[in-house]
Amino acid sequence: MKQKIYIIKIGGALIDDEKLLNEFLVQFSEIKEKKILIHGGGKLATTLADKLGITQQLINGRRITDKDTLDIVTMVYAGRINKNIVAKLQQKNCNAIGFSGADANIIQAEKRIHPEIDFGFVGDINPQSINKKLVSELVSLNLIPVFSAITHDKKGNLLNTNADTIASVMAQALSEMYDVELLYCFDKEGVLEDVDDPDSIIKNVSEKSFSILKETGKLHKGILPKLENALAAIKNNVNKVFLIKETELKNHIENHHAGTEICLS
Amino acid sequence: MKQKIYIIKIGGALIDDEKLLNEFLVQFSEIKEKKILIHGGGKLATTLADKLGITQQLINGRRITDKDTLDIVTMVYAGRINKNIVAKLQQKNCNAIGFSGADANIIQAEKRIHPEIDFGFVGDINPQSINKKLVSELVSLNLIPVFSAITHDKKGNLLNTNADTIASVMAQALSEMYDVELLYCFDKEGVLEDVDDPDSIIKNVSEKSFSILKETGKLHKGILPKLENALAAIKNNVNKVFLIKETELKNHIENHHAGTEICLS
């Protein structure tokens, strides 16, 4: 039987709220099984860019990453956020070790090529590149990897990369060796039929029901790429995939029933 | 016989010069023996603080690290500089892995307590804390650790720490398991009798000759703490310690005669 590992992704709203983040990290540190944390960015990068007078350009919700913006996200994601999370976990006796994808060449990506838009230093992950052997060696040393969403192209460039996709690709890569449960933690109770009604959780989403939900136009736009990443994971040997509210982590681990479960069919 | 390892410290002027840094990293990547890189900060942190209107206070050359300044040095040292060095080394097929002292609890420090000056989030390393077992495990996986000068107190706080001291303490800790050669690389040819004359290299410095040199007041002030760290290393089982010019790394490794050697007597 394969060993269980949780791959847990946290996002912006949580990272921006020090108290909430700390409560989450307490719950995370108490998980007894093997675990990996992957974090996104939050508003800190935008705030810093504003202070420095560096204009941020968003196209369809994607940040255009020119050289100045790359420096900012590298500083904020791989520096400030990553190292503060690691220090807070160490305080809780959780032997965290922070990474960008460049470290130990764990995650390679390619600079996004688009016919019309120059995204700048934005990376699309090469799923074959995941250094799963090293990740499992680190995990077997009882280390808890904490990944920021910065990768590299092995040509000397850092790249700004989607954290939801990193979580999905990492989960897929490790599913060969582990019984992987992938948890997308965010500020909603799960996938909601009505984004303003926390009681409207959709308990299960499959590829088929996702298509229908998308067609009805009911789903909150921001959830679509997250669901696509979640579906890619369940289709590629990840054992379990859930979208849960950040405050429900402990409850989910202990009672296995929070949020929305992503299913094959 | 113990395995050889180089512990190499680089500093500000090199980090501020992209071309020079890249040339150094080529030389570093070509070292065949085991190796660890430790880097200081450079002017980037001061520049960023200036742009953000955060006043930097220096007392006797030591940066007072209030909360805002800690955020800045964490972003610049552990984020921007560390991850760019790692990406550049990966490009050169050198399997670098970046760390702060918080990662995997490798280096613990204590917040500096001073009767008159509040240094803020400045850390003095606890030499006993160095997680040498893990460092040697990583090294034996053919990884090349790259340390920024940010440590932690295991109470959830990051701390700004002197990179020369990290290099010395790391060299001492690893000397139990390795034949350690510690190299302080900087922008001078070595310890100079006349700081403006590159031909005035002092070939050897021992504790005794250091006292005499200090008394004469000839030495450039900035070199004193570096020499104190270098002497602490040679007194505590580090096999060899040199201060060399950054551009002389390859020459030193191949011909063993660049710069100033620190001696026991």
**pLDDT at residue B37 greater than cutoff 90:** yes
Query: B130-149: per-residue pLDDT in tens?
Result: 999 999 999 999 999 999 99
- Mean pLDDT, all residues of chain B: 94
Interface contact B155-A78, CB threshold 8 A: no
Q: What is the distance between the alpha carbons of residues B60 and B178, in angstroms, rounded to a whole number?
A: 35
Nearest-Cα residue of chain A relative to residue B95: A104
Q: What is the distance between the alpha carbons of residues B125 and A89, in angstroms, rounded to a whole number?
A: 20
pLDDT of amino acid B60 = 72
Q: Is B63 annotated as a binding residue?
A: yes
Interface contact B100-A86, CB threshold 8 A: yes
Q: What is the distance between the alpha carbons of residues B194 and B201, in angstroms, rounded to a whole number?
A: 8
Q: Any CB–CB contact under 8 A between A150 and chain B?
A: yes
Query: B174-188: per-residue pLDDT in tens?
Result: 999 999 999 999 999
* CB of A104 closer than 8 Å to CB of B97: yes
pLDDT of amino acid B250 = 96
CB atoms within 10 A of CB A7: 29
- Which amino acid, one-letter code, is at B232? A
Q: What is the distance between the alpha carbons of residues B78 and B75, in angstroms, rounded to a whole number?
A: 6
Query: Which H helix or E strand runs over A217?
Result: none
Residue found under tokens 């307490």: A26
In a domain, A237, yes or no: no
Intervals of chain A under pLDDT 50: none
User: Crossing angle for the helix pair B223-235 and B163-174, nearest 10 degrees?
Assistant: 10
In a domain, A107, yes or no: yes
- Chain B residues lying within 8 Å of A100, measured CB to CB: 83, 86, 98
Burial class (CB within 10 angstroms; exposed 0-12, middle 13-18, buried 19+) of B254: exposed
CB atoms within 10 A of CB A113: 9
Q: Any CB–CB contact under 8 A between A149 and chain B?
A: no
CB pairs under 8 A between A and B: 115
Closest CA to B144 of B33, B243, B2, B218: B33
Query: Which H helix or E strand runs over A245?
Result: strand A240-245
CB nearest B90 (choices: A87, A91, A152) = A152
Q: Any CB–CB contact under 8 A between A59 and chain B?
A: no
In a domain, A252, yes or no: no
Q: Any CB–CB contact under 8 A between A163 and chain B?
A: no
Closest CA to A37 of A76, A73, A74, A90: A90
In a domain, A202, yes or no: no
Residues 6+ apart with CB under 8 A from B258: B189, B190, B242, B244, B245, B248, B251, B252
Taking the alpha carbons at both ends of chain B, their separation in whole angstroms is 24
pLDDT of amino acid A60 = 72
Nearest-Cα residue of chain A relative to residue B138: A138
Q: Is B80 annotated as a binding residue?
A: no
Q: Looking at the DSSP assignment, which residues form a beta bridge with residue A34?
A: A5
- Chain A residues lying within 8 Å of B90, measured CB to CB: 102, 105, 152, 154, 156
Closest CA to A164 of A25, A62, A70: A62
pLDDT of amino acid B216 = 86
Rounded mean pLDDT, B15-41:
96
Query: Which H helix or E strand runs over A96?
Result: strand A96-99
Interface contact B134-A141, CB threshold 8 A: yes
Question: What's the domain count of chain A?
Answer: 1
- Chain B residues lying within 8 Å of A152, measured CB to CB: 86-87, 90
In a domain, A217, yes or no: no
| Structural domain span for residue B241 | 3-262
**pLDDT at residue B61 greater than cutoff 70:** no
Nearest-Cα residue of chain A relative to residue B97: A103
Q: Is B62 annotated as a binding residue?
A: no
Q: What is the distance between the alpha carbons of residues A85 and A146, in angstroms, rounded to a whole number?
A: 8
In a domain, A206, yes or no: no
Q: Is B42 annotated as a binding residue?
A: yes
Cα-based distances in Å from A194 to A160, A190, A199, B248 = 32, 11, 9, 65
CATH assignment at residue B127: 3.40.1160.10
**pLDDT at residue B2 greater than cutoff 70:** yes
Known binding-site positions of A for substrate:
41-42, 63, 160
pLDDT of amino acid B202 = 95
Q: What is the distance between the alpha carbons of residues B38 and B82, in angstroms, rounded to a whole number?
A: 9
What are the tokens at B262? 């620190």
Closest CA to A228 of A244, A239, A248, A243: A243
**pLDDT at residue B62 greater than cutoff 80:** no
Residue B204 binned pLDDT confidence (cut-offs 50, 70, 90): very high
For the ranges B30-34, B197-201, B230-234, the lowest mean pLDDT is seen at B197-201
- The DSSP code sequence of chain B is -PEEEEEEEE-HHHHT-HHHHHHHHHHHHT--SEEEEEE---SHHHHHHHHTT----EETTEEPB-HHHHHHHIIIIIIIIHHHHHHHHHHTT--EEEE-TTGGG--BEEE---SS---BSBEEE-GGG--HHHHHHHHHTT-EEEE-SEEE-SSS-EEE--HHHHHHHHHHHHTTTEEEEEEEEESSSSSBSSTT-TT-B-SEE-HHHHHHHHHHT-S-TTHHHHHHHHHHHHHTT-SEEEEEEGGGHHHHHHHS--SEEE---
Taking the alpha carbons at both ends of chain A, their separation in whole angstroms is 24
* CB of A97 closer than 8 Å to CB of A86: yes
Q: What is the distance between the alpha carbons of residues B186 and B10, in angstroms, rounded to a whole number?
A: 6
Residues 6+ apart with CB under 8 A from A262: A204, A205, A206, A227, A230, A231, A233, A234, A241, A242, A243
